[in-house]
Amino acid sequence: MATATASGGTYDTLNRLATVTYHALSSNLCGEVVHFWKLGIPDNIWLGGCFFAAALTGIDSKGGIVLHEVSHLAVSTKDYSDTNEADAENLANTDPKKALKNANNYEYFAERSGFVQTVPSAIP
């Protein structure tokens, strides 16, 4: 189904350290997150064809996709608006509370602010 491509990145959420493991998917999905905390297994991010085809910087970049997926792990975001930047902006205008928990709003904010500029070298 998938093969491991890299492991790395630690984060501290509510005093919890974690190692995130990245895997390659054989589908065209951008990414998927699998939580195994209850089993004591590190969290996993599965990256698909959409990720590998993305640019290194800009909107919908590799760095933005990784940030999007990590936001699910770090702050329990959801995919309320998972199609494009305009949909995320519309969600912010029509339902700000949902937008605060929407992974794409984190991604697009980071990409537009210049926060996401490069990706770790361990990620192709």
| 80 contacts 89 by C-beta, under 8 angstroms | no
The question of whether 89 is a catalytic residue gets the answer no
pTM of the model: 0.73
pLDDT tens profile 12-67: 444 444 567 777 777 666 766 654 444 445 577 878 888 888 888 889 888 888 88
pLDDT tens profile 89-124: 999 999 999 999 999 999 999 998 877 765 555 455
**In whole angstroms, what is the distance from residue 44 CA to residue 91 CA?**
27
Exactly one of 69, 85, 89, 107 is catalytic; name it: 69
Residues in the chain: 124
The pairing of strands 44-47 and 2-12 is: unpaired
How many CB atoms neighbour CB 80 within 10 A?
A: 16
